């Protein structure tokens, strides 16, 4: 199985130009024989949109998404955009496209609104976290901040996901010493390895590059195997279509050696969460 991480630098608020970029990179990924091509968070619009969000939003039945569905025939694709609903709520969404149609939409659940982030000022929160079956296997799809909540990833693992996809627009910050790159990249790379190891699953992390209003995005997209090993990594700060061959049979071998998911106690977890809800939150 071959997957591609499209580490692009979208133009902020320029939907037509970003759509053209997607079509071109999808074409290249197909040409390289990839079964899946993943684009980063808000790949069609750029990230720090503020009120531009209302200019560049798309309905799920929009011609732009239709064009992407057609272009992606023969492979699968994850693209991300501002989704407008018929009741005029706006979500940061990621669509999983397969066989010429949108197979699954994940709406970002955890909207960072602290420090440099203002997601909740403009966007509605997603209210579901669900794995789904793609042609190549069962997938869990999350967006950036979602991946910082281990409960979100736990749910997907419990729901049978073998492939965890994290699409991100992670700003680079914290220029640290000691041979490492950035505080923010260190943290996310640790999370990616930790989840791959804890949930004995593949992790596909696609982060963008480029600058918006002086804020950089650090890239460093990567594929982590179910044993926590990094299988491929894109450069920091530069665009790249990272194509990598992975061996799905690693899932079987790793999970026989380390049957953590088999031994999970879902009912116990649920009981204790229920108790905590009642005792601590009065529900």
Partner 1 sequence: MAAKAGPPSSKDGAGRPADSASRLPDRLAINTATTERLLTGFIANEVRKVGFQRVVVGLSGGIDSALSAFLAARALGPENVTAIMMPYRTSSPESLADAQSVVDHLAVGSKLIEITPMADAFIAQSNADTNKRKGNVMARTRMVVLYDQSEALNALVLGTSNKTELLLGYGTLHGDMASAINPLGDLYKTQVWALSEALGVPDSIVNKPPTADLWVGQTDEGELGFSYRAVDEVLFQLVDERYSEDELVERGYDATFVRKVARLIMISQFKRALPVIAKISARTITREFRYPRDWGR
How far is CA 146 from each of CA 74, 92, 118, 128, 178, rounded to the nearest angstrom?
29, 11, 15, 11, 29
Q: What is the nearest approach in angstroms of partner 1 to the Cβ of residue 45?
A: 11
The residue within the footprint of partner 1, chosen from 2, 181, 191, 230 (CB under 8 A), is 181
Among 48, 132, 147, 163, the residue binding partner 1 under the rule CB under 8 A is: 48
Residue 210 interacting with partner 1 (CB under 8 A)? yes
Q: Which of 27, 89, 130, 180 binds partner 1 (CB under 8 A)?
A: 180
Stretch that binds partner 1, among 85-93, 198-206, 213-221, 243-251 (CB under 8 A): 213-221
Annotate each residue in 251-270 with x if it binds partner 1 (CB under 8 A) or - if it does not, as one string: --------------------
CB of 189 to partner 1, least distance (A): 15
Decide if residue 52 touches partner 1 (CB under 8 A): yes
Query: What is the nearest approach in angstroms of partner 1 to the Cβ of residue 164?
Result: 28
108 in Cβ contact with 123 (< 8 Å): yes
Nearer to partner 1, 211 or 273 (CB): 211
Q: Rounded to the nearest 5°, which phi and psi values hold at 42?
A: 50, 45
Stretch that binds partner 1, among 8-16, 27-35, 134-142, 259-267 (CB under 8 A): 8-16
214 binds partner 1 per the rule CB under 8 A = yes
Does position 115 interact with partner 1 (CB under 8 A)? The reply is no
Q: Is 111 among the residues that bind partner 1 (CB under 8 A)?
A: no
Q: What is the 3-state secondary structure (H, E, C) of the chain?
A: CEEEEEECCCCCCCHHHHHHHHHHHHHHHHHCCCCEEECCCCCCCCCCCHHHHHHHCECCCCHHHHHHHHHCCCCEEEEEEEEECCCCCEEEEEEEEECCEEEEEEECCCCCCCCCCCHHHHCCCCCCCCCEEECCEEEEEEEHHHHHCHHHHHHHHHCCCCEEEEEECCECCCECCCCCCEHHHHHHHHHHHHHHHHCCCEEEEEECEEEECCEEEEECCEEECCCCCEEEECCECCCEEEEEECCCCHHHHHHHHCCCCCCCCHHHHHHHHHHHHHHHHCC
Q: Which stretch binds partner 1 (CB under 8 A): 6-14, 79-87, 91-99, 133-141?
A: 6-14
Judged by CB under 8 A, the stretch of 42-50, 68-76, 97-105, 140-148 that binds partner 1 is 42-50
Residue 47 CB, nearest approach to partner 1 (Å)? 9
By CB under 8 A, the count of residues binding partner 1 is 26
Site string for partner 1, 160-179 (x = CB under 8 A): ------------x--xxxxx
Q: Which residues of 210-219 are buried (b: 16+ CB within 10 A; e: fewer)?
A: bebeeebbbb
Applying CB under 8 A, the residues found at the interface with partner 1 are 11-14, 48-52, 172, 175-182, 210-214, 216, 236-237
């Amino acid at each position: 199985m071959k997957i591609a991480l499209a580490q692009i630098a979208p133009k902020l608020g320029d939907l037509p130009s970003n759509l053209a970029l997607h079509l071109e990179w999808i074409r290249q990924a197909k040409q390289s024989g990839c079964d899946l091509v993943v684009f980063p968070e808000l790949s069609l619009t750029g990230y720090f949109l503020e009120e531009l969000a209302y200019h560049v939003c798309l309905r799920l039945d929009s011609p732009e998404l239709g064009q992407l569905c057609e272009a992606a025939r023969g492979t699968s694709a994850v693209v991300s955009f501002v989704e407008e609903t018929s009741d005029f709520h706006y979500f940061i969404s990621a669509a999983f496209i397969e066989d010429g149609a949108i197979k699954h939409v994940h709406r970002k659940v955890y909207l960072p609104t602290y420090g440099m982030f203002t997601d909740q000022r403009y966007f509605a929160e997603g209210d579901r976290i669900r794995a789904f079956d793609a042609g190549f296997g069962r997938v869990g799809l999350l967006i950036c901040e979602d991946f910082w909540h281990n409960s979100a990833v736990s749910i997907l693992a419990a729901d049978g996901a073998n492939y965890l996809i994290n699409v991100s627009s992670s700003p680079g910050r914290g220029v640290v010493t000691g041979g490492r790159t950035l505080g923010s990249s260190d943290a996310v790379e640790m999370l990616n390895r930790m989840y791959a190891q804890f949930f004995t699953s593949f992790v596909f992390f696609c982060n963008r590059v480029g600058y918006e209003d002086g804020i950089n995005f650090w890239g460093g997209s990567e594929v982590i195997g179910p044993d926590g090993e990094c299988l491929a990594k894109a450069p920091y700060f530069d665009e790249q279509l990272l194509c990598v061959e992975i061996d799905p049979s690693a899932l079987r071998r790793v999970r026989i050696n380390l049957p953590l998911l088999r031994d999970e106690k879902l009912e116990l977890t649920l009981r204790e969460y229920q108790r905590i809800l009642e005792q601590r939150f009065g529900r």
